[in-house]
Amino acid sequence: MVNSFGIIGGGSWATALVKILTDNHHSVNWLVRSKEMMEYIGQRKHNPNYLSSVTFNTSLLTLSTDVSAVVAASDIVIFAVPSAYVVDTITPLSKYALFEKKIISAVKGILPQDNVLLNDYLGKEYGVNLTDYFTIMGPCHAEEVAAEKLSYLTISGADELKAIEIAAHFKTNYINTVVNDDVYGVQFAAVLKNIYSVGSGITHGLEYGDNFLSVFIANCADEMAGFLHKVGIHNMQVGVHDGEDPFTHKRKTNYAASVYLGDLLVTCYSLYSRNRTFGTMIGKGYSVKTAQMEMNMVAEGYNASKCIYAINKNIQSEMPIATTIYKILWEQLSPVEGFKQIEQGMI
């Protein structure tokens, strides 16, 4: 069966996903922000604002500014907008618009309106079943996809066989895929790594060195694991391989190494990381508003820090690093003072 894809979002990650799918000769219905952007891509074959080096085969694209039209024309709908804008973007959809659609989330954040993950929101508001919901996570920077540098995507779905089918659409000579059924774990991990990446940037802005950063990230990984255990996620131990892959008959890939530790590392270290860039500005003394104005992309870690702080009031996991980053961003705690507190608590 030939599937039609719809992509909701016009930023760098959405653009990278369009590239991957069209490189695999899939037709894509693409929701973009304006008629001007539609015309530009149609004529010049690239996104004027993000990953402009990527050239598209426009015969495979149907561009639209109408979210309802994009969803109606698609069997598989990919959400690739910042978490803070998801609700407003899909408000025009009818309550039955997503019925019998497969949903893929490339959203690496929590919807701040209700402090919920995308699948919980879509389940409540649009009746989307968890078995029809999949996530596509890293470690994978859009800029490296654009340059066709070898990257890794983790596809998660409650039905792992369906997730394998989904993953096949994204595998290319520059994209490897890892599949698991850990829908909640990978989403929470993506949220947390963005918070810690902001912290990594703050350390850079405060002129800490690599020695400190390595210990900081190791403690972030430990803190993340503690939170995930508290919310019932147990498939995160690096070094453990559960049986063999039924297709390759090799030992199963330990996805914790990629989607938990790998994504945390690349987001904290990479110069492509928007959260690290945002944090660097904060460490150098920029206000949150000034740092946001300087950036052309959304740093998910900002809103995520507030959402996780609120969620953790019920979870009660020990999260001194994430809590301190929240207080720096939202309660005007001095970055210098905040990281003195973090220093004292690290092993």
Q: Quickly list DSSP for 246-289.
A: TTT-SBPP-HIIIIIIIHHHHHHH-TT-HHHHHHHHHHTT--HH
DSSP codes of every residue in 280-335? HHHHTT--HHHHHHH-SS--HHHHHHHHHHHHHHHH----HHHHHHHHHHHS---H
Q: In degrees rounded to 5, what are phi and psi of residue 20?
A: -60, -50
Lowest-confidence segment of 196-210, 261-275, 309-323 by average pLDDT: 261-275
Whole-Å CA distances, 137 to 49, 183, 222, 307: 22, 10, 20, 19
Query: What class does CATH assign to 5-181?
Result: alpha beta
Closest CA to 230 of 185, 180, 183, 181: 185
Residue 121 has what pLDDT? 96
Residue 252 has pLDDT above 90, yes or no: no
- Domain ranges in the chain are 5-181, 185-345
In this chain, the answer to whether the domains covering 5-181 and 185-345 adopt an identical fold is: no
Structural contact between residues 136 and 105, judged by C-beta atoms closer than 8 angstroms? yes
Instruction: Place 243 in a pLDDT band, splitting at 50, 70 and 90.
Output: low
Residue 258 has what pLDDT? 56
DSSP 131: G
Residue 241 has pLDDT above 60, yes or no: no
Rg (Cα) of the chain, in Å, rounded?
A: 20
The architecture in CATH of the region 185-345 reads Orthogonal Bundle (1.10)
Which residues is 135 bridged to in the sheet?
105, 156
Structural contact between residues 189 and 260, judged by C-beta atoms closer than 8 angstroms? yes
At 208-237, the pLDDT tens digits run 999 999 999 999 998 998 998 888 876 655
The length of the chain is 347
At 179-192, the pLDDT tens digits run 888 899 899 999 99
Q: In degrees rounded to 5, what are phi and psi of residue 268?
A: -80, -30
Residue 308 has what pLDDT? 96
Other Cβ atoms within 10 Å of 251 Cβ, number: 11
Residue 242 has what pLDDT? 58
Q: In degrees rounded to 5, what are phi and psi of residue 189?
A: -65, -40
Name the CA dihedral angle for 78, 82, 85, 91, rounded to a multiple of 10 degrees: 10
At 263-283, the pLDDT tens digits run 888 888 888 889 999 999 999
At 75-127, the pLDDT tens digits run 999 999 999 999 999 999 999 999 999 999 999 889 998 899 999 999 999 99
Q: What is the pTM of this model?
A: 0.89
Residue 253 has what pLDDT? 54
Closest CA to 134 of 111, 165, 95, 174: 165
Structural contact between residues 145 and 173, judged by C-beta atoms closer than 8 angstroms? no
